[in-house]
Every structure is written in structure tokens, then in C-alpha cells.
Amino acid sequence: MLRDIPPILSPDLLWSLRAMGHGDDIVIADANFPATALGARCHRLDGISATEVLEAVLKVLPLDSFVAEPALVMEVVGDAAAVPPVVEAFGRIVEATADNPAPLGRLERFAFYERARRAFAIVQTGESRLYGNIILKKGVIG
């Protein structure tokens, strides 16, 4: 065991978080997300919600302060202005936990998939709420 590291972060996921460089993206995805098809590095945290994973990741990962939107969510198909409850929860977690709190940005579904395809890693969670997907851009510790 290690101190101050949330126990839901697996050894392989911790390796990815540490290996990421400034500006690299990591995706936290719901159970419906095509994580394995899109990502070369897919970490599975089945049975754990995306909100729990987001909070744990933000305790160890700095958000990029050099971009306007270091955290991005997927827009609801057919209603881009809608804010699902899981996205509201993401916003509260980023505000309360991130070292660099910022409003959540939004991407259209297929633009989100394309951005996820280029991410350093994808974390597939057991999240059952629709639109429980978020992309985080790693910042620096300085």
C-alpha cells in the first residue's frame, strides 16, 4: 500500500498516469464506451463509477492550466445543451478536487471519440449512467 493514493487506482493505471507527459489526455469512460476499440492502453475498473474514478485520478493528476478546457465531456446526441446528472457530478468533482478547477468543455459525440482515440490511455469504468465520459488533459507540477 502507498500513502495518499486512492486504492481504486490500479498499479497499471498508476503507471499510465505517471508516464503521461504535459498535454497528454486520459479518458474516463462509462461501461458503454468503445474503450478497447479506441484505445491502445485500456485500463478496466469494472464495478467502479466514473465519478469515483474521476475523483481518485484528480487527487494525483494535475490539470493543464495552459488550455481553456482541460476537462471535456461528450454532448448529448440531439440536445447539445442538455446536462446529464453524471456530467453535473463531474463538474462538481473538478471544482472541488482539481488543482486547476475549470468549467467543463463539450465535444460532439464523434469528435469526442476521435479525441479519445488519440488519448494516452482510456479507463473503462462500470459507470451505467449515460454520458459518463470525460477527457482530462495532464498539466504540470511546478
Catalytic machinery residues: 22, 64, 113
Measure the CA–CA gap between 16 and 13, rounded to whole angstroms. 5
Q: What are the Cα distances from residue 89, in Å, to 5, 11, 36, 73, 96?
A: 21, 26, 25, 12, 11
Reduced to 3 states, what is the DSSP secondary structure of residue 45?
strand
Measure the CA–CA gap between 7 and 15, rounded to whole angstroms. 14
Comparing C-alpha atoms, which of 73, 141, 142 is closest to residue 102? 73
Measure the CA–CA gap between 103 and 69, rounded to whole angstroms. 7
